[in-house]
Structures are given as C-alpha cells and as structure tokens.
Amino acid sequence: MDSMSGLSTTPPVLTLTMNPTVDICCDVDHLVDIGKTRARVRYVAAGGGGINVARGVARFGGRATAVHTAGQEIGQRLNRLLDEEGIDHLALGIAGETREAFVLFETESHRSYHIVPRGPRLDDDEGRRCLDLIERAAGTHPYVVASGSLPEGLLDDFYTAVARRIRGTGSRLLLDTSGPALPESLHEAVYLRRCNRSEASYLVGRAVQSFDDARAVNEQLLAAGAAEVAITTLGELGALCSTGQGHMELHAPPLPGEPLSDAGAGDGMIAAIVTRLAEGDDPVDACALGVAAAAASMLTPGTEPFDREVAESLCPAVRISRLAS
C-alpha cells in the first residue's frame, strides 16, 4: 500500500467469469419436507469464480477488475450489485438470463446447501466477443485469473482459446476450472493451474487423497507443459505446490473454530495467491497464504467471503515441507 495516498501500488489483477451468479444466501433453522421453511436472508451478492477472486483480491488490499457475462434482468442486478460493492468490472451483454444461485445455511445442524442452476446458453458470437474483451483488457494486467465453469454453448476448449489470447498479451494466466473444460485446457500452457481433489481425480482417473497422489497429478501437468506452477488442494490436509524446482507440501493450519462450509475456499485461495504473486512473492509463499485463506473461508457459512485478518493470522501456522524425491 502507498502510505501517503492509501491506495494500492500493486499491479491490478484481471479475472474472467463466464457463468456468474447472483447468490441469494439465507439462514433457516432447519429444512422441512412438508410445508414451508421460513428463511432469513443473510445477504445477496454477485458471485461466480472470477468475481469471487476479484472480491478476495480487494480484501487483501489489491486491485482487480472482473470481466463477466451479464444477461437480462438478473444480469442487470449482477451489475448493480458489483457497482454497489465497489468491484471494478467489465460486463459482456448476452441474450440469455444470468443465473441465480441459492445458498441455505441450516443453523441447527450447521450444514450448508448450495443450489446452482446451469445458467444461460451462449452462442459462438458471444464467446468470440468475450475472448476479444479479455484480450483487450489483459494488456495492462500482469496476471489474469480464469475461474469457474463454462456455460452451455461454449466448446470445452474455450479456456484453451483464452490461454492463447492471454499468452499473446504477455500476461500470466492462472486457471481454475472443472468438468470437461479441464482436460481440454491442457493443450495450452498457462502459468498456474489449481485443481481440487475432485478435479485432480477426474484428470487422472483415480482417487487423489494424499500428497503422494497430488504429486502424480502435478508431475503430469508439469511434464505435459500445461503449467509452470501446479497446485493440487487436498481439503483438510492442505495443498501440494509443484514447480520445476520441486514439490512443496503446505499443511493446512488448525482451524480456530468449527468449519461451516467449503464453498468459496478455492476462490479465496486463488485470490490470495494472485495477490501475492502480483506483489512479487514466489509461488510457494503465495500458496501458503492461499492455504490460510481457504481455511479462513471454511469458517464462514455459505459463500460468505473470508475474513482477511483471520486468513493472515492463520498463515504462520501453515507448515511447509519439501516432498522427498
């Protein structure tokens, strides 16, 4: 931060969200299967992978611009929510309606339920216009984050096209996606890839449960030239961060409270990592704060953002060790 102006001097981050949401988060005492369940609205906010990352970057004192689609009435509400929150954003208008997601937190059981529709269908022209927009915007941003699922209508290799466009601008791309788009994206190199256990298992066709399992995934990504930095997260264990210099285990810190939800933990992690990378940190140190941010995210219900002070207080407790050869 600039101590004179109070403004961040860190280079800004650009994020991409192809299938954003308006998240409606409610508390209920308990769900009932007959009759009405009375709910209390906790908050309503713009959501989706890249938007959540942009919000997290701002929480860490950085700057971010969120590129996203927005369609019809819910798309207008998405734009309004981002404006009210003060998140800088560039919206690409689409014909389909932006989706709404519903997050229910059951206060008696402390369980969260995240209900997410598939979202709108995009046509080829809308996909091309989004590629053009992200390419134009990327030139002034050293780091670009593409995060979240793809909407229907786009080819599974859409993120491959994103990677090509970003590489041409000289920016570095961090990619965090799932489903068929994940293996298809491996045909183009990116700077950093993050996979959770489920996504990593999908890639290699077997369960990924340990640091050794994660090493096999990361080695596959590095050997294929699909990433310079490969991160596989292992839930309560932590994460494995791998580069050409080796594999580093980052053990998750003990939680200072009861875990309430893992929704948004991955986005919080990427936000912390890209903020620190933009500040000049090396990937392992950046990943340590990422693991702490993911842990802090688990202490909030639903998709509610992590607390920055909690994340930073947990970072020193992230134990880092090199995985033996």
pLDDT, mean over the chain: 93
Residue 141 has pLDDT above 70, yes or no: yes
Active site residue 281: no
CA–CA dist 217, 230 (Å, integer): 9
How confident is the model at residue 73, as a pLDDT?
A: 98
Q: Is the pLDDT higher at 263 or at 295?
A: 295
Residue 7 has pLDDT above 80, yes or no: no
Give the global pTM: 0.93
Q: 4: pLDDT confidence band, cut at 50, 70 and 90?
A: very low
Mean pLDDT calculated for residue range 157-175: 96
Which residue from 224, 268, 254, 219 is spatially nearest to 240, judged by alpha carbons? 219
Q: What angle do CA 12, 18, 22 make, to 5 degrees?
A: 90
Residues 143 and 271 sit within 8 Å (Cβ to Cβ): no
Question: Which candidate in 157, 213, 267, 285 is catalytic?
Answer: 267
CA–CA dist 198, 295 (Å, integer): 18
Residues 192 and 145 sit within 8 Å (Cβ to Cβ): no
How confident is the model at residue 8, as a pLDDT?
A: 61
Residue 292 has pLDDT above 50, yes or no: yes
61-71 pLDDT, tens digit each:
999 999 999 99
Q: Is the pLDDT higher at 96 or at 112?
A: 96
Domains of the chain: 13-322 (3.40.1190.20)
CA–CA dist 32, 157 (Å, integer): 42
How confident is the model at residue 10, as a pLDDT?
A: 77
